[in-house]
Amino acid sequence: MRTRLALRPAISLMVALVLVGCRSGPTEGWSSRVRTMILTSDPTEIVMSSSKVPGYWAREASSGQEFFLHTSARSFKKGSRVTVEGPFGSAYPAVFRDEAGVYLRGYSTLVLVVWKMEKEAADRAPRP
Amino acid sequence: MRRAPEVLLPSLLLGLALLQAGCQSDLRPWVPPEDHKAKIISEAMFVRTGRGDYVDGYLAEYGAEAPKRRMFMVLEIPRYLRGERLIVTGRFTGDSVRMSFGDQDQETVPVFELERGAPDVPAAPDVPALK
């Protein structure tokens, strides 16, 4: 009986730590810091849970990490440097990679929901 | 002795629930995906399957021997064109689509769920260089 009482705080602490561990996702995914991306596609779409999700494929300029930027904007072009803000998370959508003509179901990628997207200042400046 | 029903009853109920779930389940045993060389022989279609699902896809033919076998290739982003040759990876779902071809009676075409489709580009012939 005494042993059980002694164990109770330790078990409670362990449960609390496990719960905290389960609840804390990658905080990076929910930050809204500005990221610079290079668009690697024209406007396209992916399919998640049988719903079409419009946007662009892009690579983060600093890390080279690939993202799908979910936005209904269609005014950007492949190769543009843009700054985006918004949360992201990993997903397994169905995708069609236009450049290779390859269809993939359950493609592992990061989807960023665009809150704000604009051409990077350097990309906007007129070139001589 | 008096605690026996307390212990046995939940176990019995859990066992019955699992048994019922197992009997009513539509789950099929896992089968590995198959690779086929296929040719798309229709435009993109939106059809109702025998099980009542509405799906996008293409009619395709596959197999080395003549006559080629037909399948209804289901995919979520239909961007291919009629006549394209693909190497497809996926699974037959056990579902089917009823289709008519020309003046023939309706035919039951098996549904193939596409996981990966890539253009089938034949390798260039290995021609020795001129000396």
Pairing of strands A116-119, A66-70: unpaired
Domain membership of residue B129 (yes or no) is no
Domain membership of residue A5 (yes or no) is no
* Residues of A with Cβ-Cβ distance to B116 under 8 angstroms: 102-105
Residue A15: in which H helix or E strand, if any? helix A2-23
Please report the DSSP string for A20-86 in residue order: HHHH---GGGG----EEEEE-SSSEEEEETTEEEEEEEEEETTT--EEEEE-S-----TT-EEEEE-
What's the pLDDT at A22?
47
Q: Which of A6-15, A86-95, B18-27 has the lowest mean pLDDT?
A: A6-15
Instruction: Give the CATH number for residue A71.
Output: 2.40.50
Q: Quick one: CA dihedral A53, A56, A59, A62, positive or negative?
A: negative
Count up the domains in chain A and report the number: 1
Report which of residues B99 and A13 the model is more confident about: B99
Note whether A22 and A14 are within 8 A (CB): no
What's the pLDDT at B41?
94
What's the pLDDT at A128?
55
What's the pLDDT at A28?
52
pLDDT tens for chain B, 131 residues: list them: 567 777 788 888 888 888 777 666 666 778 899 999 999 999 999 999 999 999 999 999 998 887 889 999 999 999 999 999 999 999 999 999 999 887 778 899 999 999 999 999 887 778 887 76
Instruction: Give the CATH number for residue B75.
Output: 2.40.50
A to B CB pairs, distance under 8 Å: 39
Domain that holds residue A76: 28-124
Domain membership of residue A60 (yes or no) is yes
Q: What average pLDDT score do residues A83-106 get?
A: 94
Question: Does A92 reach chain B within 8 Å, measured CB to CB?
Answer: no
Best mutation site among A57, A99, A105, A107 for testing chain B: the one with the most B CBs within 10 Å? A105
Domain membership of residue A56 (yes or no) is yes
Asked if pLDDT for residue A1 goes beyond 60, the answer is: no
What's chain A's average pLDDT?
A: 83
Domain membership of residue B103 (yes or no) is yes
Q: Quick one: CA dihedral A17, A20, A25, A31, positive or negative?
A: negative
Domain membership of residue A33 (yes or no) is yes
Residue B22: in which H helix or E strand, if any? helix B4-24
* Residues of A with Cβ-Cβ distance to B76 under 8 angstroms: 47, 50, 94, 105
Q: What average pLDDT score do residues A37-59 get?
A: 95
Domain membership of residue B89 (yes or no) is yes
Considering only the beta carbons, identify the residue of B115, B118, B119 that sits closest to A105.
Answer: B115
Note whether B45 and B59 are within 8 A (CB): yes
Domain that holds residue B97: 34-119
Domain membership of residue A64 (yes or no) is yes
Give the Å distances, CA to CA, from B69 to A11, A87, B48, B92. Answer: 61, 47, 20, 13
* Residues of A with Cβ-Cβ distance to B77 under 8 angstroms: 45-47, 94-96, 103
What's the pLDDT at B124?
78
Contact A103 B75 (CB under 8 A): yes
Displacement of CA B18 from its chain's centroid (Å): 28
Domain membership of residue B49 (yes or no) is yes
What's the pLDDT at A11?
64
ipTM of the complex: 0.75
pLDDT digits (tens, 9 = 90+) for A29-43: 555 689 999 999 999
> b or e along A116-126 (b: 16 or more beta carbons within 10 Å of the residue's beta carbon)?
ebeebeeeeee
Domain membership of residue A2 (yes or no) is no
Domain membership of residue B109 (yes or no) is yes
Report which of residues B95 and A124 the model is more confident about: B95
Count up the domains in chain B and report the number: 1
What's the pLDDT at A118?
93
Domain membership of residue A6 (yes or no) is no
Q: What residue in B sits closest to A93 (Cα-Cα)?
A: B76
What's the pLDDT at A126?
59
* Residues of A with Cβ-Cβ distance to B79 under 8 angstroms: 96, 98, 101, 103
Q: What average pLDDT score do residues A42-57 get?
A: 95
Domain membership of residue A100 (yes or no) is yes
* Residues of A with Cβ-Cβ distance to B117 under 8 angstroms: 102-103
What's the pLDDT at B19?
79
What's the pLDDT at B21?
73
Asked if pLDDT for residue A19 goes beyond 80, the answer is: no
